[in-house]
C-alpha cells in the first residue's frame, strides 16, 4: 500500500517551510491551512484558489485522509465511539463526548501501551507503534467532519489526550498535535480546553513544564503510597511517588496552573477512608484538583471491582474536609464501552 505522510502532521510553520522548499510562496500555507481546517475539504483538488501546480505537488507528497472509519457506535447519552483503521491496518479508538460546556474528543496516541497498568484495558496490548502527529490530528478532524455532515453547526471545543497510549512516551508527535489543533486560524482549540494525561513520566513532566505548550496536565496517581501504587501501576517501581511529586512541584512552580490528579477508586484496594487521609496529606497545599474516577471493570482484570457509591462519597468527603479540592468524574458512553480506560486497540490487522 502506498503510505503517504498525513498533511495534518505539519504545523503551519512547517507547511510554509515545505512549500518554500518546493518552490512555492510561503504565503500559500495560509490558504491551504484555511481549506484544511476551516473549509475542511479532504481533497487537495478542491482548494480552488491555490495554484494548480502547488495542489499537485502537495497531492504527490501528502495524503489528507489516512484513517478509515471502520465502525461507529453511538451511546444513549450521545457519546460516539469511532474505530479507525490506520494505513498499516491497525485499529485505534476515538471518543466524542457531549457535555454542558461543549463537545470533547478523547484521542489515542499509540497503538497499545507499554506502561501496562494492572487495571487498564489499553495496556493489555504492548505498544506496537507510536501514532504520528498527523494521525492524532486526523482523529479530531474525522470527528469534526462527522459533526459537519450532521449540519447542526456543532464544533469540537475540548480535547482530552486520554485514549489508548501514554502521550508522554510519544512526546514529539503529541507536541505537534497540540500545536496544530491550537492554531488560531485553524481548529483554534484553546490551551485551557486541552488536557493531557500521563501515568507519571517525571522527566517528561519537567520538559512539558519548560515548553511553550500551555495545556492542562492530568497525572494518574491512583494510590497514596509507593507500596500500593507499585501494586497497581508497575511504572511506580521506576518512577516512585517522590520523583513524581518533585516533577509535579517543578511544573506547578513553573506554570502556576492547577494539575488534575486522577484517582481511580478500586473496591477494597485504594478506596478506604485511611487512603483518603493519606492522599490528602500527600497532596498538602499543592495547587491540584483530585478527580475521583469510578472504575470501569475490565474482564481481563477481574481482581478489581468498582467501589460502592457510599465509599466514593465517603472518600470525597474526607478529601473535602481536609481542604483538598476534588470532584467525581461523570461517566460517558458506558453502554458502548467508550468509558475512560475501556478503550483497547484490537491490534488486529484487516486485509487492506
Ligand atoms: N496513559 C495515560 C492516558 C490514558 S489513560 C494515563 O494513564 O494517564 C486515561 C485515564 O484513564 C487514566 O487516568 C487511567 O488511569 C484511566 N483508566 C484506565 N483504565 C481505567 C478503567 N478501567 N476505569 C477507569 N479509568 C481508567
Ligand atoms: Fe497505559 Fe494509561 Fe492504560 Fe496505564 S492507564 S496502561 S499508562 S493507557
Mean pLDDT calculated for residue range 185-192: 97
With CA atoms as reference, report the closest residue to 220 among 181, 270, 172, 182. Answer: 270
Give the Cα separation of 7 and 125 in Å (integer): 29
Residue 205 CA, ligand 1 centroid: distance in Å:
17
Confidence of residue 266 (pLDDT cuts 50, 70, 90): very high
Which of these is catalytic: 60, 69, 93, 331? 93
CA pair distance 339, 298, nearest whole angstrom: 11
pLDDT in the model for residue 330: 82
Residue 200 CA to residue 7 CA, distance in Å, equals: 31
Residue 240 has pLDDT above 90, yes or no: yes
pTM above 0.80, yes or no: yes
- 68-349 has which CATH code? 3.20.20.70
**Residue numbers belonging to the annotated binding site for [4Fe-4S] cluster:** 113, 117, 120
Percentage of the chain beyond pLDDT 70 is 95
pLDDT at residue 130 above 50?
A: yes
Helices (H), the chain: 12-21, 28-34, 52-61, 133-150, 171-182, 202-210, 226-232, 235-238, 241-255, 273-283, 309-321
| Cα–Cα dist 17/19, whole Å | 5
Q: Give domain 5-63's CATH architecture.
A: Orthogonal Bundle (1.10)
**Could you tell me if the CB of 169 is within 6 A of ligand 1?**
no
Q: What is the 3-state secondary structure (H, E, C) of 304-340?
A: CCECCHHHHHHHHHHHHHCCCCEEECCCCCHHHCCCC
Ligand 2 shell residues, CB under 6 Å: 113, 115-117, 120, 122-123, 165-166, 199, 220
Question: Mean of the pLDDT values across residues 60-65?
Answer: 96
Query: Is residue 352 over pLDDT 70?
Result: no
The pLDDT assigned to 124 comes to: 82
Per-residue pLDDT of 139-148, as tens digits, reads 999 999 999 9
Evaluate whether ipTM surpasses 0.85.
yes
**Euclidean distance between CA atoms 112 and 214, whole angstroms:** 27
Locate CATH 3.20.20.70 in the chain.
68-349
State the CB neighbour count (10 A cutoff) for residue 51.
Answer: 13
- Indicate the pairing of strand 288-294 with strand 326-328: parallel
Distance of CA 339 to the CA centre of its chain: 13
Digit-coded pLDDT (tens) for 323-350:
999 999 887 877 777 666 667 765 555 5
Q: Is 93 a catalytic residue?
A: yes
> Which residue of the set 54, 106, 326, 340 is catalytic?
340
Between helix 309-321 and helix 273-283 the angle, nearest 10°, is: 40
Q: Which three cell numbers stand for residue 32?
A: 491551504
Residues 70-128 pLDDT 10s: 999 999 999 999 999 999 999 999 999 999 999 999 999 999 999 999 999 887 889 99
Q: How far is CA 118 from the centre of its chain?
A: 20
What tens digit of pLDDT does each residue of 132-180 get? 999 999 999 999 999 999 999 999 999 999 999 999 999 999 999 999 9
Range(s) of the chain covered by CATH 1.10.150.530: 5-63
Q: How far does residue 51's CA lie from ligand 1's centre (Å)? A: 46
Which neighbouring-strand residues pair with 111? 129
In angstroms, the first-to-last Cα distance of the chain is 8
- The question of whether 54 is a catalytic residue gets the answer no
Q: 345 C-alpha vs ligand 2 centroid, how far in Å?
A: 12
Amino acid at each position: 500500500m502506498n503510505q503517504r505522510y498525513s498533511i495534518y502532521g505539519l504545523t503551519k510553520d512547517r507547511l510554509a517551510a515545505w512549500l518554500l522548499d518546493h518552490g512555492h510562496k510561503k504565503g500559500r500555507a495560509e490558504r491551504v491551512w484555511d481549506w484544511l481546517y476551516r473549509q475542511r475539504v479532504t481533497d487537495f483538488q478542491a482548494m480552488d484558489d491555490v495554484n494548480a501546480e502547488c495542489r499537485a505537488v502537495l497531492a504527490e507528497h501528502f495524503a489528507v485522509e489516512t484513517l478509515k472509519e471502520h465502525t461507529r457506535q453511538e451511546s444513549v447519552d450521545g457519546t460516539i465511539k469511532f474505530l479507525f483503521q490506520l494505513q498499516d491496518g491497525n485499529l485505534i479508538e476515538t471518543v466524542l463526548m457531549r457535555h454542558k460546556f461543549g463537545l470533547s474528543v478523547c484521542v489515542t496516541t499509540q497503538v497499545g501501551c507499554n506502561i501496562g497498568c494492572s487495571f487498564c484495558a489499553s495496556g493489555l496490548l504492548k505498544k506496537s507503534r507510536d501514532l504520528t502527529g498527523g494521525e492524532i490530528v486526523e482523529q479530531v478532524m474525522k470527528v469534526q467532519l462527522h459533526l459537519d455532515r450532521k449540519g447542526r453547526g456543532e464544533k469540537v471545543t475540548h480535547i482530552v489526550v486520554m485514549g489508548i497510549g501514554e502521550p508522554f512516551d510519544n512526546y514529539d508527535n503529541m507536541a505537534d498535535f497540540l500545536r496544530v489543533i491550537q492554531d488560531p486560524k485553524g481548529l483554534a482549540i484553546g490551551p485551557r480546553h486541552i488536557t493531557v494525561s500521563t501515568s507519571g513520566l517525571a522527566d517528561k513532566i519537567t520538559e512539558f513544564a519548560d515548553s511553550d505548550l500551555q495545556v492542562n496536565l492530568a497525572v494518574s496517581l491512583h494510590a497514596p503510597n509507593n507500596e500500593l501504587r507499585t501494586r497497581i501501576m508497575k511504572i511506580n517501581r521506576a518512577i516512585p511517588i517522590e520523583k513524581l511529586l518533585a516533577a509535579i512541584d517543578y511544573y506547578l512552580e513553573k506554570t502556576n496552573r492547577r494539575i488534575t490528579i486522577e484517582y481511580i477508586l478500586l473496591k477494597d484496594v485504594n478506596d478506604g477512608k485511611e487512603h483518603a487521609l493519606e492522599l490528602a496529606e500527600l497532596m498538602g497545599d499543592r495547587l491540584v484538583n483530585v478527580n475521583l474516577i469510578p472504575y470501569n471493570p475490565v474482564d481481563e482484570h477481574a481482581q478489581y471491582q468498582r467501589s460502592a457509591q457510599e465509599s466514593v462519597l465517603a472518600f470525597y468527603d474526607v478529601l473535602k474536609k481536609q481542604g483538598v479540592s476534588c470532584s467525581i468524574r461523570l461517566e460517558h458512553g458506558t453502554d458502548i464501552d467508550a468509558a475512560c480506560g475501556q478503550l483497547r486497540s484490537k491490534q488486529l490487522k484487516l486485509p487492506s
